[in-house]
Amino acid sequence: MRLEYEAKAFEDKFIIMLDGIKVIAFDADDTLWVNEPFFQEIEKSFCELLQEYGTQKEISKELYRTEMQNLEIYGYGAKGFTLSLLETALRISKNTIPTDQIAQIIEMGKSLLTIPIQLLDGVEPLLKSLNGKFEVIMATKGDLLDQQSKLKRSGLEEYFSHVEIMSDKTEDDYMKLLSKLEFMPDEFLMIGNSLKSDIQPVLNIGGYGAYIPFHTVWQHEKIEEISHTRMIRSASLEELKEVLK
Residues 140 and 222 in one domain: yes
Rounded Cα distance, 84 and 131, in Å? 40
> What pLDDT shows up at residue 9?
47
Domain boundary among 76, 111, 146: 111
**In the predicted model, is pLDDT for residue 8 greater than 60?**
no
Instruction: For residues 131-135, give the mean pLDDT.
Output: 91
Q: Select from 73, 92, 111 the last residue of a domain.
A: 111
Which of the pair, 226 or 108, is modelled with greater confidence? 108
End position of a domain, from candidates 66, 87, 111: 111
Q: Which of 5-14, 26-35, 93-102 has the lowest mean pLDDT?
A: 5-14
What is the average pLDDT across 149-165? 96
The structure's pTM equals 0.87
- For residues 213 and 139, state if they share a domain: yes
What CATH number is associated with residue 19? 3.40.50.1000
What average pLDDT does the segment 103-118 reach? Answer: 95
| DSSP 8-state class, residue 18 | G
Q: What is the mean pLDDT of residues 160-182?
A: 95
- Residue 14: per-residue pLDDT: 61
The overall average pLDDT reported for the chain is 90
Is the domain of 126 the same as that of 200? yes
pLDDT tens-digit readout, 55-92: 999 999 999 999 999 988 888 889 999 999 999 999 99
> What is the pLDDT confidence band of residue 225, given thresholds at 50, 70 and 90?
confident
Q: Answer yes or no: do 181 and 236 share one domain.
A: yes
CA pair distance 98, 185, nearest whole angstrom: 52
231 contacts 203 by C-beta, under 8 angstroms? yes
Whether residue 121 sits in one domain with residue 15: yes
Domain that holds residue 141: 2-33+117-244
Q: What separation in angstroms does the CA of 17 have from each of 29, 57, 210, 215, 240?
A: 27, 45, 13, 28, 15
Around Cβ 104, how many Cβ atoms within 10 Å? Answer: 16
Whole-number percent of the chain with pLDDT over 70:
91
The 8-class DSSP code of residue 26 comes to E
Same domain, 47 and 87: yes
